[in-house]
């Protein structure tokens, strides 16, 4: 594909995914389309449960919701040749390209999921103007994963077309459910990055200026996403209050004490109970409470420390009121430092790209979390190198905002820098 | 109307109201039907805002909800001659009958509202079998107010037909929104029981055995229904937690401390936060929290004491986190002791009724609340007598249960005892 | 002894005990003096551990404190003939008088302990004026038990002197540690009221007017006195906070939740954490916390309910912070209703006494607690009758006040009424 | 003084101060002795309130305690010539040496106070063996400030003796109450370091290895020491609980919420309530509570943020229970980064000393707090340079331990390095 054609194709893909956004573990239409393109390009495919463990999935929607969404996907253009692999919500893909020459194994991580956000219908919102606003009410690609998927397919195209100029093995990992850091663990545990020598995850935007590049984005906080439930006994609050077991009092105690978890002297930590819903009526002793919470830590150890305190607090609060409590892990990510070796290669590739105005080796500005860290950690423990890079772009509004939008001329340079890195890594490794 | 006809009519009315249940301040269809019957019987009518103050209404639904319900009422048989009086949700009625002879003013209180309960569709549930199950999904007459309205109309009929055997003035007060103790205050403050000498409120069921009667049901707890909101500032829980003002932490502190309000040595009290809803996402500092709460007291003074403590606690919790807080009174009732004089008359009327097997002067078993106490308190302060009586009936399931049902042969005796009391009071007063 | 002599002797005894007050389980001097008088009067004595179980003693001072006090008692006139029985702080006495005639067993309860209050040295405080102010710094008879002991000895004298006019068996029970409701259980469990037919406990003052009498003082709340400790791990709050296990956070959670224990619909209840002491330095994670608490209930069952909730809350709070916690019962009393039969006899005896102006059968004004209820409950369960009566007296200041003082002319009538009751009970039982 | 003599004198001074330790704002004996030595050496002295503001003193003992200690100081060898300046507890000293040559102003900070720790009487504890264990029961030099005072006097001696080899002005600042970070603010606000060009504070030990030196010890946390009191109303917990205003419930709420203060994304923070004491009896609603607390922050801004949240929480908790609350600042310190220029000079001086095996420019291991930061901050804001250096020594036990002890052969090298720095700074500045 010529450069101009590829640029157009990238935009077409991105707008298609934008128009049909799918949330985590429900990327059935998206994954089927991706599989179709990769299959046609000649990649060796491993799909769904072949590349995901059941136990590793966190915060996966229930069977009913998945089935309903499957119908939506089929009605909205899912590629029926591949839907069966993804029908139960295991929507991961590993596409492998074996080049002619021996060489290292290089893996790229691509995420595909959208957010539970209602997209703006404002007149000045480009997707609205240009006719590719979300058709799925309440779901929106407000973090740029539509462009990631598009870049992933562009990269796949370029790699396949230039296979003979490359060496080693290349794996493209399309991951579900990055939002909420729910999907990567399942693929990492299935072994998809075992024996990978170089691992590259990338993101668009995140505050990096337009046409700028960061080769190693450090500072992700390890995190655990926790759904906590207390189950008690209801009773009439006027007539027989003593017969109740009050789940809200336990929850309120848990909330206060979770936020009071002692700071760790090794680094920063966070606790947030983002939502609490309890009780079923004014005059009824509340018999259940649900907390939507998260912990974070500057290191995986600190996050683990906080998580353990939270578990104790929840157990104790339940004991106080003679309740049952459950802490369900609905998402998790590690902290991981980028390998500067591979980052340096990426930086050089970016610097030599005419459309990129500036490239930084390392930045630590992040204070969010990313489950690409599961892959990175596993690669590094296996002796490989891993980095997380950022392609700056002009944003119409911040990530997770209903008016979020990227600048589409970032797509092609991203593909080219990532492609160039594969070529360069192969060259160096010879 | 002959006794047999009246018995049939009572059942017909009750089943009609049961089939078209309406919640508090939305009794538009019901009130219009009631007004129609009373008008035809020759009662002098005062409707809607003529008998209710705006300020006295507590927990009244918003304009939008009221409008939507108005449409439903019109579609479901509301009497269009009277709908305009009730269209904004002021659904109270005072019907006055002036007899030929001078004499005391006697008032009867009738409530008309249903509950937000989904009625059972079980095969053994009589309203289902007999074809008068609720047609309004999620709303059900599960406390017997349908039968109260029917009894009220039956009593109106009998009084009007026997007007020349009576003396004094008789007022029938049809009150909205007894559930949540929201409607009586508005009518009491409008003065509808000023100058009333004898006041009688009645209820069906409540655990009193079938064909038994209690003339004075004491022990109602004074209560306040409180909707409490905390409004803070959202912030990203990972990136800038310090920029948030955490409404959930304030709410959790308020919940614990509200339940910890010191007991009062003068009598029993209650506090319950029945529901708490806070926050909008896992990784966002919660910027709002809503508590659905209630206080109760063995006396109105104790309830007032608890309510004042709750106000302090809410204000303090808001100050802790630099938030705005609001405590809205969504319902309120007093504690009030029945006047045994009028109760004794009722007891005698009940005892002489062939269908009533036993009559008790006084019982204190209640631990619920009733806003008829607003009328009772006002009547007693004005020098009159007031009581709250119970017509026992066989219940299919407890009040507020989805399978609640009464025994319809209780309707006629109830009408007759209440009618007899009016006659007797008139006679004595001569 | 003539009436005039007895009146003087009562005052002498009372002032002696007032001047040498001893706190609960330390009444060594007092008990030895009492034993001496009773022995000389010819009573059959059972002393110390003969009439007390070890396990039943609650909140008993430690060995060291007891030894120190023993020395004080010896230095201040303890009767060395009996000290050995009481030296370890088991200071109960049962004195039995067997009359010539057969008849019922009548028991009287007398308490002897003082309070940890520093007696006033104001010029207008009678004990100060008259030279019998407490010589034990920080300990004071501020509840009238000095007069109880004196009345007990006066009663013993009168009974012994008039033995031949009486029938049946009479037991005088001198109980330690009524303050904090710590001592009665131990004697009740030792069986000292088993087979008792009539049991009479009495108190002076308590708000009953001078020269008035209440034969049955009902309304005592059941109570448990709880010493609660949390034991954690200290750590430097700046350098290694995460190494601590914070006992204060657990204690604060426990305090809030204990006060939030749901009210019981069967009757009133109370919880109070009267004191909390935690931590050892500003920059150290607190490794211990101690709560001085109490629960109360209108019935023993309600108190038990509250106590069980407290235990759960303490266990849960400990679990929250991975601590050890201990709930020690430092005192306990039951709720018990007086038997009106024996109360009626007492009332008649009081009414016929020339110095008593008014006698009431029953009063329920109390909202305190009394461990005489252990005896009362045991007597009633064994088929006997029990009552708790009050001799009104003019008080200089309220009970437990540093200027508390009684009117000494109440002593003789109290002895005479109690004596008369024994005579009357014997007469009736014939 | 020859080197050998000086070495002996240093040990003698240190042991004298160790034997007569004095806590913050009570260093009357110590300061008088210091003033005597400095006066004899020819320093220009400014004493007590001449160099301290009243308002700047934090956590200063009351008048009574100060007077009692004054007597102790006089009985234990205070230099009566100077005692009057320090008698009210303003124990700061500024000693100025004007050299012949013009040059910069150099200031040294020396702290003098001891800790409320009971010194070990173990046989292996050197001060015990060698006969200079604390004679002031419950007070101990357990942080090495005795050696700081000794080094300060040794430095004064050496500077005075070699005055003609130096240039500029030299100020020795002897500061009270470093423990609890209470004393420096008062002297800084009095202007004692205004116009200072080079400022050097030093500490012994702190984990730096024996014979090693750190020229710039960074990482001090800004801190506020807070004494928080809640004042309510007592009431009998059984009879009239509703008449109380419960200070303990407010305190418990404050404790939980203070620990729950949201983390700051700019850096680490700490909150600790080290002690809580509340209430006066088991059956009394607690009418007061006292919290001994501290906040810390990686920067002064973060500490300020935490302190402001604490203030809100305390105000809110008081409002909850209708109490009065007070937050008193009992100590405070800033965060401040060392100036590397002057640190480099110190490092070179240390490196060229034969007894010092290793010197580090900078370390950030600290997680404690120091109020020398008040001086440092003021010097740097005035355009000067400031550093905080550490003389490593072998410790018998950690700081603030009852068996803390230093190695006395560290004293002389410390004096010589600090002296050398003055000489070198003068030389460079020419």
Q: Mean pLDDT across chain A, nearest whole number? A: 95
Domain count, chain A: 2
For the stretch C198-220, pLDDT in tens is 999 999 999 899 999 999 999 89
* Residue B210: closest CA among B357, B95, B86: B357
The answer to whether residue B240 neighbours chain C at the CB level (below 8 Å) is no
For the stretch C67-96, pLDDT in tens is 999 999 999 999 999 999 999 999 999 999
Per-residue buried b or exposed e for A150-165, using 16+ beta carbons within 10 Å of the residue's own CB: bbbbbbbbbbbeebee
Per-residue buried b or exposed e for B209-219, using 16+ beta carbons within 10 Å of the residue's own CB: eebbbbbbbbe
User: Where residue A292 falls among pLDDT bands split at 50, 70, 90?
Assistant: very high
Q: What DSSP assignment string belongs to A121-157?
A: --TT-HHHHTT---SSTT-B--SSHHHHHHHHHHHHH
- B125 and B20 within one domain: yes
- B272 and B403 within one domain: no
User: Where residue A74 falls among pLDDT bands split at 50, 70, 90?
Assistant: very high
CA distances from B2 to B154, B161, C222 (A): 12, 11, 60
Last residue of a domain, one of D333, D366, D388: D333
Q: Mean pLDDT across chain D, nearest whole number? A: 95
pLDDT at D100: 84
pLDDT at B366: 64
A-interface mutation test, from D249, D254, D259, most A Cβ less than 10 A away: D259
- Cβ D107 vs Cβ D63: under 8 Å: no
The span from the CA of B346 to the CA of B214, in Å, is 9
The span from the CA of C174 to the CA of C302, in Å, is 29
Query: What is the least distance, in Å, from the CA of C281 to any CA of chain A?
Result: 17
Interface of D with C in 157-186 (CB under 8 A): 180
Interface touch A265/C305, C-beta < 8 Å: no
- D63 and D174 within one domain: yes
Residue A239 has its nearest CB partner, among B255, B289, B368, at B368
For the stretch B145-180, pLDDT in tens is 999 999 999 999 999 999 999 999 999 999 999 999
Coil, helix or strand at residue B274: strand
Last residue of a domain, one of D294, D313, D333: D333
How many beta carbons lie within 10 A of that of residue B164, not counting itself? 9
Q: What is the mean pLDDT of residues D288-301?
A: 96
Residue C263 has its nearest CB partner, among B256, B265, B269, at B269
Task: Please tell me which chains touch D, using 3 or more CB pairs under 8 Å as the contact test.
Answer: A, B, C
Q: What is the mean pLDDT of residues D155-177?
A: 96
Residue D306's Cβ-side half-sphere holds a number of Cα atoms within 13 Å equal to 31
User: Where residue D367 falls among pLDDT bands split at 50, 70, 90?
Assistant: low
Global model pTM greater than 0.95 = no
For the stretch A204-218, pLDDT in tens is 999 899 999 999 999
pLDDT at C164: 92
Q: What is the mean pLDDT of residues C19-28?
A: 98
User: Where residue B205 falls among pLDDT bands split at 50, 70, 90?
Assistant: very high
Pairing of strands C222-231, C269-278: unpaired
The answer to whether residue B83 neighbours chain A at the CB level (below 8 Å) is no
Which chain A residues have a beta carbon less than 8 Å from that of D268?
263, 265, 267-268
The span from the CA of D203 to the CA of D217, in Å, is 10
* Residue D297: closest CA among D289, D305, D287, D285: D305
Any idea what DSSP says for residue B165? Answer: G
- D135 and D29 within one domain: yes
- Cβ D221 vs Cβ D297: under 8 Å: yes
Given a cut of 70, whether residue B430 has pLDDT beyond it is no
pLDDT at C1: 80
Given a cut of 70, whether residue A36 has pLDDT beyond it is yes
The span from the CA of C307 to the CA of C294, in Å, is 9
The span from the CA of A412 to the CA of A11, in Å, is 9
Residue B317 has its nearest CB partner, among D242, D262, D320, at D320
Given a cut of 70, whether residue A367 has pLDDT beyond it is no
Which chain C residues have a beta carbon less than 8 Å from that of A242?
262-266, 305
Interface touch A272/B251, C-beta < 8 Å: no
Task: Please tell me which chains touch C, using 3 or more CB pairs under 8 Å as the contact test.
Answer: A, B, D
Measured between its terminal Cα atoms, the distance across chain C in Å is: 28
For the stretch D114-141, pLDDT in tens is 999 999 999 999 999 999 999 999 999 9
Residue D256 has its nearest CB partner, among C221, C249, C286, at C249
Q: Mean pLDDT across chain C, nearest whole number? A: 95
Last residue of a domain, one of D333, D355, D374: D333
Coil, helix or strand at residue C325: strand
Q: Pick the residue from chain C with its C-alpha nearest to A251.
A: C257
The answer to whether residue B266 neighbours chain C at the CB level (below 8 Å) is no
The span from the CA of A105 to the CA of A97, in Å, is 10
Query: What is the least distance, in Å, from the CA of B328 to any CA of chain D?
Result: 18
Domain extent for A173: 3-220+336-429
pLDDT at D3: 84
HEC states along chain D? CCHHHHHHHHHHHHHHHHHCCCECCCCHHHHHHHHHHHHHCCCEEEEHHHCCCCCCCCCCCCHHHHHHHHHHHHHCCCCCCCHHHHCCCCCCEEEEEECCEEEEEEEEEEECCEECCCCCCCCCCHHHHCCCCCCCCCCECCCCHHHHHHHHHHHHHHHHHCHHHCEEEEEEEEECCCCCCCCHHHHHHCCCCCCCCEEEEEEECCCCCCCEEEEEECCCCEEEEEEEEEECECCECCCCHHHCECHHHHHHHHHHHHHCCCCCCCCCEEEEEEEEEECCCCCECCCEEEEEEEEEECCHHHHHHHHHHHHHHHHHHHHHCCCEEEEEEEEEECCCCCCHHHHHHHHHHHHCCCCCCEEEEEECCCCCCCCHHHHHHHHHHCCCEEEEEEECCCCCCCCCCCCCCCCHHHHHHHHHHHHHHHHHHHHHHC
- C58 and C126 within one domain: yes
- D207 and D64 within one domain: yes
The span from the CA of C276 to the CA of C294, in Å, is 12
- C216 and C358 within one domain: yes
The answer to whether residue D364 neighbours chain C at the CB level (below 8 Å) is no
Neighbouring residues of D330: CB distance < 8 A, sequence distance ≥ 6: D58, D59, D180, D182, D225, D226, D227
User: Where residue C259 falls among pLDDT bands split at 50, 70, 90?
Assistant: very high
- Cβ B376 vs Cβ B216: under 8 Å: no
For the stretch C174-194, pLDDT in tens is 999 999 999 999 999 999 999
The answer to whether residue C273 neighbours chain D at the CB level (below 8 Å) is yes
Which chain B residues have a beta carbon less than 8 Å from that of C259?
259-260, 262
CATH number of residue A295's parent domain = 3.30.70.360
The span from the CA of D88 to the CA of D72, in Å, is 14
Dmax over CA atoms of chain B, in Å, equals 81
Interface touch B252/A249, C-beta < 8 Å: no
- D245 and D368 within one domain: no
The answer to whether residue D368 neighbours chain A at the CB level (below 8 Å) is no
Interface touch C255/D249, C-beta < 8 Å: yes
How many beta carbons lie within 10 A of that of residue C67, not counting itself? 13
Helix, strand and coil content of chain B, in percent to the nearest 5, comes to: 35, 25, 40
**B195 backbone φψ class: left, alpha, beta (φ>0; ψ -120 to 50):** left
CATH number of residue B64's parent domain = 3.40.630.10
Per-residue buried b or exposed e for B2-26, using 16+ beta carbons within 10 Å of the residue's own CB: eeeebbebbbebbbbbbbbbbbbbb
pLDDT at C143: 94
Q: What is the mean pLDDT of residues A76-100?
A: 96
ipTM confidence score? 0.87
Q: What is the mean pLDDT of residues A361-389?
A: 92
Neighbouring residues of D304: CB distance < 8 A, sequence distance ≥ 6: D222, D297
Residue C316 has its nearest CB partner, among A266, A305, A320, at A320
Any idea what DSSP says for residue B236? Answer: B
CA distances from A409 to A4, A204, A349, A414, C239 (A): 12, 12, 18, 9, 50
- D26 and D160 within one domain: yes
Q: What is the mean pLDDT of residues A407-415?
A: 97
* Residue D257: closest CA among D221, D302, D293: D293
Alpha helix (H) ranges present in A324-371?
340-351
pLDDT at B429: 72
The answer to whether residue C312 neighbours chain A at the CB level (below 8 Å) is yes
Any idea what DSSP says for residue A209? Answer: P
The answer to whether residue A310 neighbours chain B at the CB level (below 8 Å) is no
pLDDT at A423: 95
pLDDT at C221: 92
* Residue B241: closest CA among A109, A397, A367: A367
Residue A274 has its nearest CB partner, among B180, B255, B282, at B282
The answer to whether residue A327 neighbours chain B at the CB level (below 8 Å) is no
C87: Cα separation from own chain's centroid: 20
Residue D279 has its nearest CB partner, among C240, C246, C274, at C274
Task: Please tell me which chains touch A, using 3 or more CB pairs under 8 Å as the contact test.
Answer: B, C, D
For the stretch C130-173, pLDDT in tens is 999 999 999 999 999 999 999 999 999 999 999 999 999 999 99
Residue D276 has its nearest CB partner, among C239, C274, C278, at C278
Phi, psi for residue B418 in degrees, rounded to 5: -65, -40
- A103 and A54 within one domain: yes
The span from the CA of D260 to the CA of D271, in Å, is 9
Query: What is the least distance, in Å, from the CA of D170 to any CA of chain C?
Result: 34
Neighbouring residues of A255: CB distance < 8 A, sequence distance ≥ 6: A273, A276, A291, B248, B249, B252
- A117 and A102 within one domain: yes
Neighbouring residues of D255: CB distance < 8 A, sequence distance ≥ 6: C248, C249, C252, D273, D276, D291
Given a cut of 70, whether residue C367 has pLDDT beyond it is no
pLDDT at D219: 84
User: Where residue A430 falls among pLDDT bands split at 50, 70, 90?
Assistant: low
The span from the CA of C192 to the CA of C172, in Å, is 10
- A346 and A263 within one domain: no
Any idea what DSSP says for residue C122? Answer: -
């Amino acid at each position: 594909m010529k450069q101009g054609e590829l640029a157009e194709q990238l935009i077409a893909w991105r707008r298609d995914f934008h128009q049909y956004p799918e949330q985590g573990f429900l990327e059935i239409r998206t994954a089927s389309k991706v599989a179709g393109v990769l299959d046609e390009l000649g990649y060796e495919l491993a799909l769904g449960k072949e590349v995901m463990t059941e136990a590793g999935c966190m915060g996966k929607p229930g069977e009913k919701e998945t089935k309903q969404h499957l119908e939506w996907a089929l009605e909205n253009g899912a590629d029926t040749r591949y839907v069966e692999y993804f029908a139960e919500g295991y929507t991961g893909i590993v596409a492998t390209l074996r080049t002619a020459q021996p060489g290292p194994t290089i893996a790229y991580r691509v995420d595909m999921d959208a957010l539970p956000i209602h997209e703006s219908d404002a007149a000045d919102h480009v997707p609205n103007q240009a006719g590719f606003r979300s058709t799925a009410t309440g779901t929106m690609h407000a973090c740029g994963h539509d462009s990631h998927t598009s870049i992933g397919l562009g990269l796949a195209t370029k790699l396949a077309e230039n296979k003979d100029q490359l060496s080693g093995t290349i794996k493209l990992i399309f991951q579900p459910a990055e939002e909420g850091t729910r999907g990567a663990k399942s693929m990492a545990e299935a072994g998809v990055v075992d024996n990978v020598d170089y691992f590259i995850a990338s993101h668009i935007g995140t505050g990096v200026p337009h046409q700028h590049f960061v080769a190693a984005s450090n500072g992700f906080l390890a995190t655990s996403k926790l759904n906590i439930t207390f189950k008690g006994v209801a009773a009439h609050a006027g007539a027989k209050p003593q017969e109740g077991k009050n789940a809200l009092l336990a929850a309120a105690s848990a909330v206060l004490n979770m936020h009071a978890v002692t700071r760790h002297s090794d680094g920063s930590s966070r606790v947030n109970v983002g939502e609490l819903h309890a009780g079923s009526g004014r005059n009824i002793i509340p018999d259940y409470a649900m907390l939507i919470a998260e912990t974070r830590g500057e290191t995986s150890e600190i996050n683990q420390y906080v998580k353990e305190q939270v578990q104790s607090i929840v157990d104790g609060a339940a004991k106080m009121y003679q309740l049952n409590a459950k802490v369900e892990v609905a998402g998790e990510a590690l902290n991981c430092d980028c390998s500067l070796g591979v980052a340096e290669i990426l930086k050089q590739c970016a610097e030599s790209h005419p459309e990129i105005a500036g490239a930084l080796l390392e930045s630590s500005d992040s204070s969010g979390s990313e489950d690409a860290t599961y892959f990175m950690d596993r690669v590094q423990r296996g002796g490989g190198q891993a980095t997380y890079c950022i392609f700056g772009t002009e944003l119409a509004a911040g990530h997770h905002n209903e008016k979020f939008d990227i600048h589409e001329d970032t797509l092609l340079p991203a593909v080219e820098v990532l492609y160039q890195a594969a070529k360069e890594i192969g060259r160096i490794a010879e």
